[in-house]
Amino acid sequence: MADNEEITGPISQEDIEAADKLKNEANEYFKKQSYNNAIELYSKAIEKNPKNAVYFANRSIANMRLENFGYALSDASKAIELDRSYTKAYYRRAAAYMSLGKYKLALKDFEYVTKVRPNDQDAKMKYNECNKVVKKIAFEKAISVDKKEVNIADSINLDAMTIEDEYEGPALEDGKVTLKFVTELMEFYKQQKKLHKKYAYKILIDVKSYLQKQPSLVDIKVPDENKFTVCGDIHGQYYDLMNIFKLNGLPSEANPYLFNGDFVDRGSFSVECIFTLFSFKLLFPDHFYMSRGNHETLDMNRMYGFRGEVTSKYTSQMADLFTEVYNWLPLAHCINNRVLVMHGGLFSKDDVTLDDIRKVDRNKQPPEDGIMCELLWSDPQPMEGRAPSKRGVGCQFGPDVTHAFLARNGLDYIIRSHEVKNDGYDYAHNGKCITVFSAPNYCDTMGNLGAFITMNGKDLKPNMTTYQAVPHPDVKPMAYANSFFNMLCQ
């Protein structure tokens, strides 16, 4: 994918023209948000003419749209290597760096452009904006070091928050989530109304208190005749979440659910999604489960909208509290000792056991490697063995890795999410690695179906239900995302 092999010899005029034709076709697919097709054609154009920086820069932004940050970074770097004066390639690389939380490296790219093009106002503006982001993050980090001992959940005074007379929304009963509360909350959210901050804070404090007592790997027991549902990424698509409950029934003790990470970001109803899910968690703690995804992290929330949305609808203090709560979300769930469910995937090492996952100290932002990182970020690949991740974080693992892991741990198969699939799901590695993705027409652009998995406790055979996206109010995805980052990814 990186196409970093040495380019030798002249390229024929025929190949140059063929490559340009392929690039134009790829651009059309890109405009239709058909990014995989665009990437395939940009790659063919590169095969014909590997000396054209534009093809690499174009493939870089297509990979960015698919969250293949590693590939996007590599392609942008290759474009720069081919043409040091190609401004757009630096912007592409900066966007990839920012997606990976490497803000200072992004700033270096903007700085370089301003030096070689001192009169370029656009370059100057982008440098200044990126510099603001870097300074803001440095400031936040400095404050968090100063407040290292401060526990936000403990510092909130709920008694000092009054419920105004004009508030007509759902109310906790004796400080507790009830079925009446969560049913009213879902309807309230459909009307685009806001839960009172006192109740919102109380839910977060109670969820954190519960999650702190949970292990990093939660064991779930499903009785033989009982149904169990696993959902993948929701990504702030609240109205599609409501559709899942319409199709499959509301969560209850008789209708348990596991939501497998990435509840927030990108979609602009993330606050509504997470408070609905957390309310069900408090209502049915032993029948409603939530795994951490790679988007329940500070860097992702900064870039992809959740932090901006919480700050807009509530306060930056609440955004900080969310970060604190997300750190306690379990990293994986094991159903009846036979099916392991995690957001991303398997590991760069062969000897990982379920006990190793249980022992992970998860109360932190994910590191750049190791078990915690790979549970949140890894992806399957069709080839045997392992490869560096297309995302630039985690690893890619083949069918042999999956089969060896299952055998070592006495498991039947794994379920993971983390990747858009046209049908909402995908069977890989001879059916032993199942992907489920529950956000249909992801970001209002991808045209994919959503899916969820149901099974019974006896045979744990996965059954797929797929569905189309439903209409939602006219608030665009990424409406709350970092505006500078949004601009870079256009």
**Residues involved in catalysis:** 295
Structure tokens at 433: 């690695």
According to DSSP, the β-strands at 395-397 and 450-456 are: unpaired
DSSP code of 20?
H
**Among 45, 73, 362, 339, which residue's Cα sits nearest to residue 221?**
339
Q: What per-residue string of b and e applies to 437-449 under the rule 16 or more CB within 10 Å gives b?
A: bbbbbbbbebebb
**Residues making up the chain, counted from first to last:** 490
Chain Cα centroid distance, residue 461 = 27
236, 273 Cβ separation under 8 angstroms: yes
Query: Which residues does 295 contact at the CB level (< 8 Å), separation at least 6?
Result: 233, 235, 261, 262, 263, 264, 265, 266, 301, 304, 306
- Tell me phi and psi for residue 261, to 5 degrees: 85, 170
N-to-C CA span, the chain: 23
According to DSSP, the β-strands at 379-380 and 395-397 are: parallel
Query: Which residues does 194 contact at the CB level (< 8 Å), separation at least 6?
Result: 169, 313
3-state secondary structure of 185: helix
Cα four-point dihedral sign 381, 387, 391, 397 = positive
Chain Cα centroid distance, residue 170 = 29
